[in-house]
Amino acid sequence: MVVDAPAGLQGYKLTDYLRVVDKVVVPLVPSVFDMAATEDFLNSIRSEMRASRGKVGIVAMRVDPRTKAAGMLEEFLKHFDIPIVAYLRNTQNYVNVAARGQTVFDPPRAKHKRDVEQWAPLLEWLGG
């Protein structure tokens, strides 16, 4: 089951969520504004899940792992000790399939092969 919690969840509500989940996926865009806005949340997650190492992962959104932006995100995340479990590129494929009520996993998959491949590490991490 996936629970999509509101951004900036804190305090006892965050604690309640974290008690019942197996893994936490935090989507994060490598921009100064997004990282600053997520810092308190990541500190809360780190504190709450200290004994549950490996249960929190970052999905780097709209970024190529070979870019300076990805390096900036990786540097930001070092002091949280939370791994980046996947990088999802910036593409209109997500917008286009969502407009049709579909996902990149729906046929024709060949059209979204690159996107499906980028999801593989995340899906593997979630299954592990």
Q: Give the model's pLDDT for residue 67.
A: 96
Strands (DSSP E) along the chain, which ranges? 24-28, 56-61, 84-88
- Looking at mean pLDDT, say which of 39-43, 48-52, 119-123 comes out highest: 119-123
Does the pLDDT of residue 51 top 70, yes or no?
Answer: no
Q: Give the model's pLDDT for residue 2.
A: 77
Q: Give the model's pLDDT for residue 128.
A: 61
CA distances from 58 to 13, 25, 26, 111 (A): 21, 6, 5, 26
**pTM score, two decimals?**
0.89
Q: What is the mean pLDDT of the chain?
A: 89
Q: Give the model's pLDDT for residue 125.
A: 96
Q: Provide the edge-to-edge strand list for the sheet that holds 56-61.
A: 24-28, 56-61, 84-88
